[in-house]
Amino acid sequence: MFFPISHSHINPLYLVVVGFVIGILGGFFGVGGSFIAGPALRLMGVDWNYAVGTDLAHIVGKSIVAARKHRTLGNVDLKLGMIMAVGTIGGAEGGAQVIQALKRAGNVNTVVSWVAIVVYVGISVFMLWESHTTLKLHKGRTVSDVKAAESKADHSAFGPVTKKIQRMEIWPMISLPTSGIQISLWIILAVAVVGGFFSGFLGGGAGYIRMPSMVYVLGIPTHLAVGTDLFEVVISASYGTFTHAIKGNVDILIALVMHTGAVIGAQIGVVATQYFAGPKIRLAFVPLPLIGAAIVIYTLLTGHKL
């Protein structure tokens, strides 16, 4: 099938399948999935600029569907999402500025690649340790996965550190009844700015950083972190889509085909979260950043940009 906007020939079934896989990951983990969608579009010969912009456009739709579904299940903290969106947009702008500075210095590819590898592997190793330790500590308890998931109660081996962060009384303190915590506004903004920075610096929605940060730094239960992150992705990806579309980087027809698969996958992913407890969702999350790291290592070694 010919897509005139990006001048590319792609089998629509391929796009639907890619969208479906990303949709499941998005609904279950609260990530945008740009680390898969971008390379998947590149493999079909779509120019890099169209791959980035189009990917963001399909993320908007998929995240709306997944966030709505999560909201019906009580997994979205709107107040937290709104505050974080402000910090994310600011951070994304900062990340883009650093990219521009590195471009001027002439070493943007090397620096971004190494930072990406360190960040992706770091997140995976930390989450593997934490979720594995938490599961080991709670082994033998009689509560089933489904019951644990339903109650949204969460345990984390990193919990004592999170509690200390929550106790830091830096004015103004914000109460988040949906998430069941009270925390300084500045800590929420710091998490959002860091997530936004990496979104602007490494590309995509940076859900692989924001979702774990919400769990470990803010102490948000995993199910709520997934839903709230998706809500925030809607805002940040809409902003990204708009700016990319103005620059001529969005093929909306490709995005709509990908979206047909993504929205179905997203609904399945969201419902699946109801059958897993928080630590198991976090453990299953571990391979995702590693896939991102593997793609970056591949491009570094071969010089091919997927």
Partner 1 sequence: MKQEAAKSLRAFAAELVIYAVLVTGYFFLVLHLLGGWLYQLETKHRILYAFVAILLIAGQAVVLDAVTTVLFRLLRRRWR
Which one of residues 49, 113, 238, 299 is an interface residue with partner 1 (CB under 8 A)?
A: 238
Using the rule CB under 8 A, is 24 a contact of partner 1?
no
Using the rule CB under 8 A, is 259 a contact of partner 1?
yes
Nearer to partner 1, 1 or 43 (CB): 1
Using the rule CB under 8 A, is 257 a contact of partner 1?
yes
Using the rule CB under 8 A, is 70 a contact of partner 1?
no
Using the rule CB under 8 A, is 255 a contact of partner 1?
yes
Using the rule CB under 8 A, is 78 a contact of partner 1?
no
* Pure H helices in the chain: 12-29, 34-43, 48-72, 78-105, 108-137, 145-151, 159-167, 185-202, 207-213, 222-246, 252-273, 278-285, 287-302
- CB 148, CB 277: distance < 8 Å: yes
Nearer to partner 1, 231 or 285 (CB): 231
What is the nearest approach in angstroms of partner 1 to the Cβ of residue 142? 16
Contacts of 109 (CB under 8 A, 6+ apart): none
- Two structure tokens written together for 131: 């979720």
- CB 27, CB 273: distance < 8 Å: yes
Cα separation, 46 vs 257, in Å, equals 14
Q: Annotate each residue in 1-20 with x if it binds partner 1 (CB under 8 A) or - if it does not, as one string.
A: ---xx---------------
Instruction: Give the DSSP letter of residue 174.
Output: E
Closest CA to 5 of 256, 188, 194, 209: 256
Q: Annotate each residue in 133-152 with x if it binds partner 1 (CB under 8 A) or - if it does not, as one string.
A: --------------------
Burial-class residue 290 by CB neighbours within 10 Å (0-12, 13-18, 19+).
middle
Nearer to partner 1, 12 or 159 (CB): 12
- Two structure tokens written together for 294: 């593997």
Residue whose structure tokens are 């883009």? 96
Which one of residues 68, 71, 138, 155 is an interface residue with partner 1 (CB under 8 A)?
A: 68
Residue whose structure tokens are 């997934």? 226
What is the nearest approach in angstroms of partner 1 to the Cβ of residue 247? 8
What is the nearest approach in angstroms of partner 1 to the Cβ of residue 274? 10
Which one of residues 41, 64, 192, 224 is an interface residue with partner 1 (CB under 8 A)?
A: 64
Which one of residues 26, 61, 204, 221 is an interface residue with partner 1 (CB under 8 A)?
A: 61
Nearer to partner 1, 6 or 124 (CB): 6
Pairing of strands 2-3, 173-176: unpaired
Using the rule CB under 8 A, is 235 a contact of partner 1?
no
Q: What is the dihedral of CA 164, 169, 175, 176, to 10 degrees?
A: -30
Segment interacting with partner 1, rule: CB under 8 A, options 88-96, 127-135, 208-216, 238-246:
238-246
Which one of residues 62, 210, 223, 282 is an interface residue with partner 1 (CB under 8 A)?
A: 62
Cα separation, 1 vs 170, in Å, equals 56
Binding site for partner 1 (CB under 8 A): 4-5, 57-58, 60-62, 64-65, 68, 238, 241-242, 245-248, 250, 252-253, 255-257, 259-260, 263-264, 267-268, 271
